[in-house]
């Protein structure tokens, strides 16, 4: 047997590097757009005004959220700082197994969103690791969010779809290891 790697084996690391690069580029784009949008919102909406985007359905209005989604656990900002940090590290570690472009996209969206809100928690008022997340897209009577939140939500939907379809992070599909049930009338 020839000890040299096959063309497929040699191409696998290059393909994986491209997927990791796609994940990191996606995360960077989300992070930059999120922070630019938040900077705009803080500057343009600080006076308490709101901008109607779609009548009363979608408005731009500044909120500072010390908690999680839907202002849940407003006293636990430091906990969310730790959770976002751990999640970001876990995503980067999982990227070493990437074999699917859709998983690279999903994890990039998730990482970018987590880092966008983590940046707020680390560097915004009232202080380091206790900062409030800037939310500004207001769906009155429902919730207020930002681009990082939208990215996290899109990632969650994509991850759910990939999981439902059996697409693995490494690429390929999950297969059932259980033996097929016998068909009626067959001898076993």
Q: What is the pLDDT of residues 173-184, one digit of tens each?
A: 776 554 445 555
- Residue 125 in any domain: the answer is yes
Coil/strand/helix, residue 132: coil
- Residue 96 in any domain: the answer is yes
- Extract the tokens encoding 148: 């990082």
Look-up: residue for tokens 């999982």? Answer: 94
- Residue 20 in any domain: the answer is yes
56 is catalytic: no
- Residue 4 in any domain: the answer is no
Domain limits at 92? 16-164
CA-based nearest residue to 77, from 88, 67, 87, 63: 67
List pLDDT tens digits, range 148-180: 999 999 999 999 999 999 999 988 777 655 444
Count of CA atoms in the C-beta half-sphere (13 A) of 115: 23
- Residue 187 in any domain: the answer is no
In this structure, what DSSP letter does residue 71 have? G
47 is catalytic: no
Choose the catalytic residue: 34, 120, 135, 138: 135
Task: Give the number of domains in the chain.
Answer: 1
- Residue 171 in any domain: the answer is no
Residue 134 — pLDDT band, cuts 50, 70, 90? very high
Look-up: residue for tokens 């206790």? Answer: 130
- Residue 47 in any domain: the answer is yes
- Residue 108 in any domain: the answer is yes
Choose the catalytic residue: 34, 120, 138, 149: 149
């Amino acid at each position: 047997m020839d000890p040299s790697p096959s063309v497929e084996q040699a191409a696998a690391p290059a393909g994986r590097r491209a997927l990791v690069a796609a994940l990191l580029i996606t995360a960077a784009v989300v992070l930059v757009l999120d922070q630019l949008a938040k900077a705009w919102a803080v500057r343009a909406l600080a006076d308490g005004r709101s901008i109607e985007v779609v009548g009363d359905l979608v408005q731009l209005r500044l909120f500072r959220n010390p908690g999680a989604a839907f202002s849940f656990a407003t006293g636990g900002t430091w906990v969310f700082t730790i959770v976002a940090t751990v999640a970001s590290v876990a995503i980067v570690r999982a990227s070493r197994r990437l074999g699917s472009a859709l998983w690279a996209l999903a994890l990039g969206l998730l990482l970018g969103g987590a880092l966008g809100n983590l940046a707020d928690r680390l560097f915004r008022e009232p202080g380091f690791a206790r900062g409030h997340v800037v939310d500004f897209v207001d769906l009155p009577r429902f919730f207020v969010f930002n681009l990082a939140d939208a990215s996290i939500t899109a990632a969650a939907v994509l991850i759910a779809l990939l999981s439902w379809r059996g697409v693995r992070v490494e690429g390929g599909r999950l297969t059932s290891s259980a033996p097929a049930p016998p068909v009626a009338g067959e001898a076993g």
